[in-house]
């Protein structure tokens, strides 16, 4: 018997040693050799390059080139890259129809798919590549759940469109539809806008959820500096991708884990930085879910407190006139940090191996018009406010940075709709009056199912000239492109028999953003009586993933996580 056979190819400090070491692992070694790998390569760290590239939407169509640069960096640093794809959905393709029901639920599928691939193959480290609304939070959730060395590369924003000398984002097409209906635009003008408003690859050119979450990813130290706002088409994006590949091998060698980076203090900083730039209402869905994976906590009250204490220093479309391009040229996340230096804890380590303070100090760019100093902030508070009251005992959210002053406090009669499509028909049909409060229900995580985004409705209000005089409340959610007094994520939702389920046309709804109140001007006794008379909720979907999702998903107030 030959007792000298150990077949040890890899140091046992690597997780992947379980895959290649030992007599019993001859099968995996044979597979690797059959794919062209050498014995020497089996000794190197195995790095998963998890890519959400697809050919269906602009946020991910360019990620194959990003992955190529990442893999070059990994190989150069002495690792072995293994690229694998997972799904990604673009909110823009799913707006206004039942496809949107699948978008928020896809977050859980993406996170789960990364987990099972990384753990099933015992990878040593991960580079996670993605760029749109649910994909960035899903990747961060996966990294923190698995807790092996990981680094994120976000795909970067799309360049702004130029029309008649002004800059636009794709989201503004939906607002232009109202002008078309009213006869303020010709069909040929509108068609021309379609041809130019999405000029190339990247996430939509606005401070929507995709770019808000990319800023958050950099602010919590999970990307290299400059990654969030480096645009999709730039050489800097490819350099950051390659540098991320180089860096992940060092993180594996040093055993630096995501939960070492994302502490409670770092999580707080991420919220602070993102709120200072007008971050999306969907932050309130994703950050609590990310915190949970890190074994930390972030409630709506916590988010509200940080927002209230954070100056609003960068006003980016749709809330302002500046673009993501302007923000990038002004220093991006590092520029925001430099402006907030006196209020923020920047002495926290990032995946770069340097602290945020060190990264910000290396920045050359500065533009005090785009990123204002704290003493010249647009407002003393950040982008989001969380409202509570008898209509939202668990909470609701509004992007206050996009609300005109005269609508911060509003009372008006309810106009109730059981889905977004019916509300959109009423808006375009001139059935909504100034002062109304549109109520869209049956759009929550369970009742939707999947908590659809109401951008078609909110954009219709803008296009019809109603966004500064009509409020909208829903148990669904909003795009970061939403403007006006639009209050979403109302919890408890319709399916959970929250009071939103029993609002009647004509009921007066009181909104007070400054006092954080959302009230139905109906007595508690009447609300209870109406709820008691409601029939049992009947789910819209009874089979497949969405049916399982609806049964397991929790409240939007807790991040719509699966229980």
Distance of alpha carbon 248 from alpha carbon 253, whole angstroms: 9
The rounded Cα 428 to chain-centroid distance in angstroms is 29
List the one residue out of 360, 336, 343 whose CA is nearest residue 278. 336
365 annotated to a ligand binding site: no
Please tell me which residue in 212, 352, 469, 479 is annotated as part of the active site.
479
Does residue 479 have an active-site annotation?
Answer: yes
Distance of alpha carbon 116 from alpha carbon 124, whole angstroms: 14
Say which residues have a Cβ less than 8 Å from residue 117's Cβ, sequence separation at least 6. 48, 50, 84, 86, 123
Angle between helix 283-293 and 209-219 (nearest 10)? 40
Q: How many Cα atoms are found within 13 Å in the side-chain-facing hemisphere of 125?
A: 33
Say which residues have a Cβ less than 8 Å from residue 143's Cβ, sequence separation at least 6. 114, 126, 128, 150, 152, 222, 258
133 annotated to a ligand binding site: yes
179 annotated to a ligand binding site: no
Say which residues have a Cβ less than 8 Å from residue 284's Cβ, sequence separation at least 6. 300, 303, 384, 386, 397, 489, 556, 559
91 annotated to a ligand binding site: yes
Say which residues have a Cβ less than 8 Å from residue 102's Cβ, sequence separation at least 6. 89, 94, 450, 546
Please return the burial class of 153, using the count of CB atoms within 10 Å of its CB with bins 0-12, 13-18 and 19+.
Answer: buried
Count of residues in the chain: 563
Distance of alpha carbon 412 from alpha carbon 7, whole angstroms: 75
Distance of alpha carbon 265 from alpha carbon 295, whole angstroms: 13
Phi, psi of 199 (to 5 degrees): -75, -5
Distance of alpha carbon 481 from alpha carbon 175, whole angstroms: 10
Distance of alpha carbon 26 from alpha carbon 545, whole angstroms: 38
What residues are annotated to the active site?
479
Q: Which residues are annotated as a binding site?
A: 91, 133-134, 453
User: Which residues carry a binding-site annotation for Mg(2+)?
Assistant: 91, 133-134, 453
């Amino acid at each position: 018997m030959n007792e000298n056979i150990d077949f040890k190819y890899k140091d046992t400090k690597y997780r992947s040693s379980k895959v290649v070491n030992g007599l019993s692992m001859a099968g995996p070694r044979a597979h690797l050799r059959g794919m062209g790998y050498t014995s020497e390569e089996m000794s190197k760290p195995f790095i998963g390059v998890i890519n959400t590239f697809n050919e269906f939407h602009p946020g991910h169509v360019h990620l194959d080139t990003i992955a190529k640069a990442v893999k070059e960096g990994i190989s150069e640093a002495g690792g072995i890259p293994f690229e694998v794809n997972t799904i990604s959905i673009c909110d823009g393709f799913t707006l206004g129809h039942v496809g949107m029901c699948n978008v928020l639920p896809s977050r859980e599928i993406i996170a789960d798919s990364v987990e099972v691939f990384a753990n099933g193959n015992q990878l040593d480290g991960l580079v996670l590549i993605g760029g749109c609304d649910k994909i960035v939070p899903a990747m961060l959730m996966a990294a923190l759940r698995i807790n092996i060395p990981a680094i994120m590369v976000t795909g970067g924003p799309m360049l702004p469109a130029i029309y008649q000398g002004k800059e636009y984002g794709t989201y503004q097409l939906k607002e232009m539809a109202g002008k078309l209906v009213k006869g303020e635009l010709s069909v040929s003008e509108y068609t021309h806008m379609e041809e130019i408003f999405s000029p190339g690859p990247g996430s939509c050119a606005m401070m929507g959820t995709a770019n808000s979450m990319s800023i958050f990813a950099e602010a919590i130290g999970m990307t290299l500096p400059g990654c969030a706002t480096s645009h999709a088409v730039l050489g800097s994006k490819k350099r950051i991708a390659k540098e991320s590949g180089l860096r992940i091998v060092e993180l594996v060698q040093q055993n630096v884990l995501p939960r070492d980076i994302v502490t409670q203090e770092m999580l707080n900083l991420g919220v602070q930085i993102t709120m200072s730039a007008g971050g999306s209402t969907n932050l309130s869905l994703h950050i609590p879910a990310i915190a949970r994976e890190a074994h930390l906590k972030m409630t709506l009250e916590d988010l509200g407190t940080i927002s209230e204490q954070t100056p609003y220093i960068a006003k980016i479309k749709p809330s302002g006139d500046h673009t993501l391009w302007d923000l990038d040229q002004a220093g991006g996340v590092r520029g925001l940090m430099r402006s907030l230096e006196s209020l923020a804890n920047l002495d926290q380590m990032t995946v770069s191996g340097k602290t945020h303070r060190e990264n910000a100090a290396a920045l050359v760019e500065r533009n005090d018009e785009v990123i204002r100093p704290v003493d010249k902030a647009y407002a003393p508070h950040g982008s989001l406010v969380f409202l509570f009251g008898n209509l939202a005992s668990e909470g609701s959210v509004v992007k206050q940075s996009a609300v005109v002053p005269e609508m911060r406090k509003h009372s008006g009669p309810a106009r109730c709709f059981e889905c977004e499509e019916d509300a959109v028909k009423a808006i375009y049909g001139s059935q909504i009056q100034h002062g109304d409060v549109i109520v869209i229900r049956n759009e929550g995580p369970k009742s939707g199912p999947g908590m659809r985004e109401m951008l078609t409705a909110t954009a219709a209000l803008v296009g019809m000239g109603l966004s500064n005089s009509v409020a909208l409340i829903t148990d669904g959610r909003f795009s970061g492109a939403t403007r006006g007094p639009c209050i979403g994520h109302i919890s408890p939702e319709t399916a959970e028999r929250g009071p939103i389920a029993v609002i009647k046309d004509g009921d007066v709804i009181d909104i007070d953003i400054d006092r954080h109140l959302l009230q139905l001007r109906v007595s508690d006794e009447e609300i209870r009586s109406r709820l008691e008379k409601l029939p049992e909720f009947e789910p819209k979907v009874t089979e497949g993933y969405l049916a399982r999702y609806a049964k397991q998903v929790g409240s939007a107030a807790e991040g719509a996580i699966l229980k």
